Structure 1
């Protein structure tokens, strides 16, 4: 069986989805091991990942496109900062699996709502069904974290929704392709880290100089950030829409499996039902039908 560009791109997108799914657990472990606030964890992820990704893009000569899109660069950085900070706080407040599932489940709801307002018409039936499934799944997940304090659950769910909304806005902005999008995203990671740096410094960014902590910082910045984004943008060049959708759906699946296996997290029956509903809604929303895209 020959290795075609389409197969290579699909494999890269699958890799990106799996690597993204490890970010929440890695950030949670780093926060516990180093005593870092979630905002500081997010800042480290963006700064380390951004420097690595930017170095790779610089070697490929990608910076020549940045001057044409300064506004997009700044907005990308700000949204990445908001998304990562809200997501890491959500992970700390509820759990890796729930925060990831709620965050990703909110994206199609927010995108569909914003698109309907912009175009002044209702989404098609397929999109409406996906949104309904996501909302039902989110409702079940909201009541899933048994044993946690009420305010932590409410704030954790709220932060997850905020993270999902930020990623949805970023999705809408990047839906219009521009030359040098990989460079914009790479430098945007650094910009996002810079946006979070003042808050992270206020919370404290000092970490124990142990091998475990330094390895966690390096992993969080390199693997689920620099490498994952690099694989994603390389994969988009020749991939089908179905393969791109798979990358999106693999992230919450990976995060949930890792959290259950290594972080002793358990979903209630309602949580499992919510996860299944969101997975189905994501498949319905992202994977195009034979007649065209769901969007």
Structure 2
């Protein structure tokens, strides 16, 4: 089988970048839900994956892909469950880390660790060394991440009462995110993006469902009742989960896992721009420089010329 043309490989990076932008809008939605309805991060995460799973299963049924989803679980059950649980676990680890150590440290550690780990794994597996260009792109992306996360005003930046525990959870989130992306890349080479997103999101929804049950049994707020809150929850499930992960897995068909983790660093860039636009937060010049560095790093990425073959 011949390699896909350059425009197709570039489209893969654009799809992953779009997923990162969508994820960046999720933070503001989660914050608004917490302020309006006192919904916990894990409760929102559970609703996010549950609604996405319902929508994706319905879409799979309407387009005749239910058989493909079943075939995915029969052919690759362990890997599908790992990717689905990893997706759910990353969200939980990251959100709890934010509460303990603050959003800046959590973002820098978790999102910054992922491309380093993914690139290290790929080069160890291939027995190669990163080129100067690859090293420069990664350095620019990580520098931009530090600048924009440490200086942009979106989200809480004050650490909680357990900074060391929060840091450990942020590291665990970064490791989980890197592993999930690498494993998802392996599955994406062999599976239709919609089928893969449906299967892994359904697994993640089942994994997070106990948090909704515990919240209901302990008298905690389970869901907002206002139209605005319900709209935000629907947006989180449909846009930042179902659509975003569909774009991620579509892009992973022609993009390496390390390049994907760098492209998704657009998440804090879009979060900062959204906060500046909707909340009136002023972006200091280091944050602007950080955003420019991340955008430059993503623009300099080169899609894989020889993606894995089924």
Q: TM-score, normalised by structure 1?
A: 0.75
User: What is the CA-CA distance between 1:53 and the residue it aligns to?
Assistant: 1.4
Q: Equivalent residue for 1:149?
A: 158
Q: How many residues align?
A: 282
SS in 1 for 2:39: coil
CA displacement 1:97-153 (0-9 Å, x = unmatched): 886676544432221122234345432222222233344344445643789434479
Once superposed, what is the RMSD of the aligned Cα atoms? 4.0
Secondary structure of residue in 1 paired with 2:151: coil
User: Contact 2:108–2:149 at 8 Å: present in 1 too?
Assistant: no
Summarize the Cα distance change of 1:21–1:137 in structure 2 as closer, same or farther, 3 Å threshold. Answer: closer
After the TM superposition, which of the residue ranges 157-166 and 70-79 deviates more from structure 2? 157-166
Deviation of 1:190 after TM superposition, in Å, equals: 2.2
**TM-score, with normalisation over the residues of structure 2?**
0.72
Task: Please show how residues 80-229 of structure 1 align to structure 2 within 5 Å.
Answer: 80-89=87-96, 94-95=102-103, 103-140=110-147, 143-144=150-151, 148-151=157-160, 154=163, 161-176=171-186, 177-203=189-215, 204=220, 206-229=222-245
Q: How many Å separate the matches in 2 of 1:266 and 1:153?
A: 29
Structure 2 residues not aligned, in runs of 5+: 1-6
| SS across alignment from 1:22 | helix
How far has the Cα of 1:15 moved from its partner? 5.3
Question: Where does structure 1 lack aligned partners over 5 or more consecutive residues?
Answer: none
| Aligned equivalent of 1:68, options 75, 79, 94 | 75
Partner deviation per Cα, 1:191-224 (whole Å, 9 max, x = no partner): 1122122244435452242212222211111122
Q: Which of 35, 48, 51 lines up with 1:48 in the alignment?
A: 51
8 Å Cα contact 2:60/2:195 also seen in 1: yes
